[in-house]
Amino acid sequence: MVLPVHDVNPVRRFPVVTLSLIVANVISFLTTPAANVCELNAFLYEWGAIPLELMRNEPLQVVPTQTCGFGPPSYDKQVALSVLFSMFLHAGWLHLLGNMLFLWIFGNNVEDRLGHVRFLLFYAAAGYVAAYAFALSDPTLNAPLIGASGAVSGVLGAYLVLFPWARVWSLVIIIPLPLPAWLVLGVWFVLQWIYSSGYAVEAGSVAYLAHIIGFLFGVLMAIPLRGRRPQRRRVQ
């Protein structure tokens, strides 16, 4: 197990978008209804990205209700926007904190290289590509797809291309070691591929394929920026 905790890679500007995304995700999680399982399930079907809906571009006709039953939706769902909303929904504290840890460690440097606006657009695009690609792989699935993992995976792919030799302090089992980013993120990607292939029991209901697609999208988008260095600001 390799868990990154901090990278040695200074930035030139404050990562306002990365920090704002983290805050938005935490607030969204804290305000997600959790009074009972039925209420939460109904909420996730309303705001989560459902592969069957994405492929048909229309909402489900029958959905779970807050009273643990089933019936027609009482809301007007915008299917395309559900992908965006789903990026701010998480299944639990471990899901949330894991995504936010990776976003904070690797997002600030990618934002520094892309700029605030381009980074925000890139983050959203990675999330959309990951969600729709996963929907294509299982177009009849009618369970909500939630979490920032697809978008964060795109950030990891971009970081790998832009800063492959940056040192990342990581816990290897329980031992802290400074490892190159290519090794940390390479191990992460291989694990996602193993889980998505069904070779590991831990795969469960996690959309590992969305992680892989998001990561590859980030790699492809960052390749044109490889080798470029942002110009330093000149003060007159």
Give pLDDT tens digits for 8-20: 999 999 999 999 9
Kindly compute the dihedral angle of the four CA atoms of residues 107, 109, 111, 112, in this order, to the nearest 10 degrees: 160
CA distance 183 to 170: 11
Closest CA to 170 of 182, 152, 155: 182
CA 20 to the chain's CA centroid: 15
Residue with tokens 């809906």: 53
Q: From residue 117, how far is each of 113, 114, 231 by CA, in Å?
A: 11, 8, 17
Q: Which fold has domain 2-225?
A: Rhomboid-like fold (1.20.1540)
pLDDT in tens, 73-84: 988 999 999 999
The reported pLDDT for the residue numbered 229 is 59
According to DSSP, the β-strands at 70-71 and 175-180 are unpaired
Burial class (CB in 10 A: 0-12, 13-18, 19+), 75: exposed
The reported pLDDT for the residue numbered 113 is 96
The reported pLDDT for the residue numbered 231 is 45
10-residue mean pLDDT profile of the chain (236 residues): values are: 92 96 97 86 94 94 90 92 96 94 97 97 98 93 94 98 96 93 96 79 70 97 79 39
Tell me if 79 sits within 8 A of 128, measured CB to CB: no
* pTM, entire model: 0.91
The reported pLDDT for the residue numbered 199 is 54
- DSSP H helices, 115-236, are 116-137, 149-162, 181-196, 208-222
The reported pLDDT for the residue numbered 235 is 36
Provide the residue ranges of all domains of the chain, joining segments of one domain with +: 2-225
Residue 173 Rama label (left phi>0; alpha psi -120 to 50; beta)? left
Closest CA to 210 of 54, 32, 23: 54
